[in-house]
Chains A and B, each alone.
Chain A
Amino acid sequence: MKKKIVSTMLCAAMITTMLAGCGGSDNGGSAPAADNGGATQEAAPAGDSADGGEAAAPAAGGGSVYWLNFKPESDEVLQEVAKDYNAKTGVEVKVVTAASGTYSQTLLSEMDKSAPPTLFIIGNQAGVKDWKDYALDLNGTAIANELNTDAYNLYDETGKLVSIGYCYECYGIIVNPDLIEKAGHTMDEIKNFDGLKAVAEDIHSRAGELGFDAFSSSDMDDSSSWRFTGHMANLEYYYEQEGTPWTDTPATISGKYMDNFKNLYDLCINNSLTDPKELATGGHDAENEFKTGKAAFFVNGSWEYEAVKNEVPNATMIPYYCGVAGEEKAGLNCGTENCWAINSKASAEDQQATMDFMVWCVTDPDASRKLVDTFGVMPYKSAAESTNGFLAAADKYTADGCYVMNWATNFQPNVDSYRATLVSALNQYNADQSDANWEIVRTAFVDGWANEYNATH
């Protein structure tokens, strides 16, 4: 009898364990955003071992190219372009892509190998600081002469051209104009923060009747939080520069425009499909919410154009309106972290081969077409034309005399740690939007900057 009871209990325990498993997948049913990140991570590092042998067989020209790429989403195209170049010239081009979010770790270990990357990415001032000794001076080189703007290049303090932009991007608020009109508004109403606020709050208040909401979810998990801690934060840094762009990471920031950041951030989380209290763990696919017409606004960047252009053909992008005086003249946030650097420790033949490859990438019609379609736009004289609607919007703002908001966010010191701290503070604020909790966000944003600066300088 006793045994029977015991075995019943065991059964119950076992079933509970199993049900816990099922329940988990139910609860996590809204997780595809997080899954996406995982999938790219899994797929990405494959190139390493597969291509390991190739570097040992240099082609006729003597040198070979080894490109350490940092964007998993462009890996496929780069492999294709590398193959084309090899077929055309016989020069070996090996492209290895670091798994999502692990570029700096991968670079650190790859540079230490006997066949280090000849072409790698130095995307911001922090990267310049860490890697300038390993980068060839690109001033006056063949690739530099192909550029049509100097805006996306990175120099060190001695004026050495450490890395050179090969594409640029812009970010802001992606809008579905059709939904705005469906709600009885026009795009012309949105020329500043007050206009944006009025439209967004009106849509949110009538979400049930309209069948869509204003903002898509602003999740705080790793696959999404950078849209706020990296991108939206830029509006604070941008205005804080007061017209003279930073050239190096400032030791401290004042947080003068924190209230403007709060304006837009609050608007975004409080007029959205998702209760702010549920943002901490994520799992709401914001891109999908926008694509399927469930939300009219989507905070993201020009790289999203390919993903949304079929479902939302009229999608356009507006600046971060946040209540700063004169913001009617604001444009989009344009900049890049995609900057090529040539390894100064590589052999002269490899450096030459790498340079030839880069020039070919930006001048060959087929190759630059493929690359532009992936990257959006390449700032080179003979590169293919861009077909990206959001970058076209950025151009239009510039043509209308609006100011471009540069990527001051690239100066964030010890960026991963700084942003992680900010995420933690925003999580607390999302759960309870009190003034005390906003003070914690301000501390993380402003004092955190100084703290991370001190840790790294």
Chain B
Amino acid sequence: MKSKKITATNSLQKATKRWGFLFMGPVLIAFVIGFVWPFIQGIWLSMCQFRLISDAKFIGFDNYVKTFQDASFRHAFWYTAMFAVVSLVIINVLAFIVAYILTLEIKGSNLYRTVFFMPNLIGGIVLGYIWSMIFDGILGRYQTSILLESKYGFWGLIILMCWQQIGYMMIIYVAGLQNVPGDILEAARIDGATSMQTLFKVTIPNVMSSFTICIFLSLTNGFKLFDQNLALTGGQPFVIQPGGTTIKTTEMLALNIYNTFYSSNTTSQGVAQAKAVIFFILVAGLGLLQLSYTRKREVQQ
């Protein structure tokens, strides 16, 4: 009886091993078509001059050289980096505070959670236009506009992103906070820890894994930001330098790549592609670095 059961399991395992690919197949194919192949093609195109991708001409690393010479790309990089760091800090601090408050068993906390989460359901481009009206409604009273000062554009985008992202990050923190074992908290209380000590010595180390994921998400979101940027300022205001070249002061990396691709320069498509490859390496590299760093600080129970 017993031996028979084992064989059944074995043959099941065997069958799984043999036919597994059939079930994996569709996803794998979709992944290859939708991600792996375009990615490889993208790297290839970054070394080509092309208008239509069907007749691309290989030109080596010229596009990369042009990318690094491009002042607007360098500006966009530093601007994006600054934006990512500032938004990461503000979003995570506020999201954690809100999550902490909402796990204190307040009446109606479910309602609050829902309300705070809702902004996340609105698409980026819509949000950008709505917020540009809000900001201009306010700034208009002072005879100015979000399009006239780069610092308004920067903080406007930060406010917009906070409004949209805090609710989402909050949900992750709430889940983390609820998973902190009650007995540890009780032990801390019996040992006479103050609420501040409990928060910093017990609770936060126990939700480190939530921090890992939230910081990862807000860092990569900050770097990849596109629609909100396009809709809110579209890169305005520009600094027009003598000689007529312009720096779009509120243009982030993704928008810079987009603008490069669709300018009617004969080589711009290739340059944009090279920028996109650099952009990918940058975001992936930073993301992995951050993951390995915060992972070390996670506590295993």
Residues of A within 8 A of B (CB): 3, 6-7, 10, 14, 17, 20-21, 23-28, 31, 34, 38, 104-105, 108, 111-112, 126, 130, 275, 277-278, 280-281, 283, 414-417, 420-421, 423-425, 427-428, 431, 440, 443-444, 446-452, 455-456
Separation of A28 and B108 alpha carbons in the complex (Å): 33
**Is the Cβ of A27 less than 8 Å from the Cβ of B136?**
yes
Chain B positions 243-278 with a Cβ under 8 Å from a chain A Cβ:
243-246, 259, 262-266, 268
**Is the Cβ of A278 less than 8 Å from the Cβ of B137?**
no
Query: What is the minimal beta-carbon distance from B230 to any residue of chain A, in angstroms?
Result: 11
Separation of A251 and B226 alpha carbons in the complex (Å): 33
The residue from A27, A31, A424 contacting B240, defined by CB atoms under 8 A apart: A424
**Is the Cβ of B243 less than 8 Å from the Cβ of A447?**
yes
Number of B interface residues at 8 Å Cβ cutoff, please give it. Answer: 51
30 A-B pairs with CB atoms under 8 Å apart are A3-B104, A7-B108, A10-B102, A10-B106, A23-B137, A27-B140, A108-B52, A277-B144, A278-B143, A278-B145, A281-B133, A281-B136, A414-B263, A414-B264, A415-B264, A417-B263, A420-B238, A421-B238, A421-B244, A421-B246, A427-B237, A428-B148, A431-B144, A440-B240, A443-B242, A444-B244, A444-B246, A447-B240, A448-B244, A451-B245
The residue from B105, B108, B112, B137 contacting A24, defined by CB atoms under 8 A apart: B137
Query: What is the minimal beta-carbon distance from A286 to any residue of chain B, in angstroms?
Result: 18
Separation of A267 and B265 alpha carbons in the complex (Å): 36
The residue from B104, B106, B116, B242 contacting A447, defined by CB atoms under 8 A apart: B242
Contacts of A3 in B (CB 8 A): 104-107
Separation of A347 and B237 alpha carbons in the complex (Å): 47
Contacts of B241 in A (CB 8 A): 443
The residue from B131, B237, B243, B246 contacting A428, defined by CB atoms under 8 A apart: B237
The residue from B102, B234, B235, B246 contacting A448, defined by CB atoms under 8 A apart: B246
Residues of B within 8 A of A (CB): 51-54, 101-102, 104-108, 112, 115-116, 119, 129-134, 136-138, 140, 143-148, 163, 234-238, 240-246, 259, 262-266, 268
Contacts of A440 in B (CB 8 A): 240
The residue from A112, A417, A424 contacting B259, defined by CB atoms under 8 A apart: A417
With contacts A24-B134, A112-B52, A130-B51 taken as known, whether A449 is within 8 angstroms of B259 at the C-beta atoms is: no
**Is the Cβ of A10 less than 8 Å from the Cβ of B264?**
no
Separation of A451 and B240 alpha carbons in the complex (Å): 11
Query: What is the minimal beta-carbon distance from B170 to any residue of chain A, in angstroms?
Result: 12
With contacts A20-B134, A104-B262, A421-B246 taken as known, whether A443 is within 8 angstroms of B104 at the C-beta atoms is: no
**Is the Cβ of B131 less than 8 Å from the Cβ of A6?**
no
Query: What is the minimal beta-carbon distance from A440 to any residue of chain B, in angstroms?
Result: 5
**Is the Cβ of A17 less than 8 Å from the Cβ of B115?**
yes
| Chain B, Cβ-Cβ closest to A457 | B266
Query: What is the minimal beta-carbon distance from A421 to any residue of chain B, in angstroms?
Result: 5
Separation of A452 and B108 alpha carbons in the complex (Å): 58
Query: What is the minimal beta-carbon distance from B62 to any residue of chain A, in angstroms?
Result: 15
Contacts of A31 in B (CB 8 A): 133
Contacts of A38 in B (CB 8 A): 129
Contacts of B148 in A (CB 8 A): 280, 427-428, 431
**Is the Cβ of B132 less than 8 Å from the Cβ of A281?**
yes
**Is the Cβ of B145 less than 8 Å from the Cβ of A280?**
yes
Separation of A20 and B115 alpha carbons in the complex (Å): 14
Separation of A3 and B105 alpha carbons in the complex (Å): 9
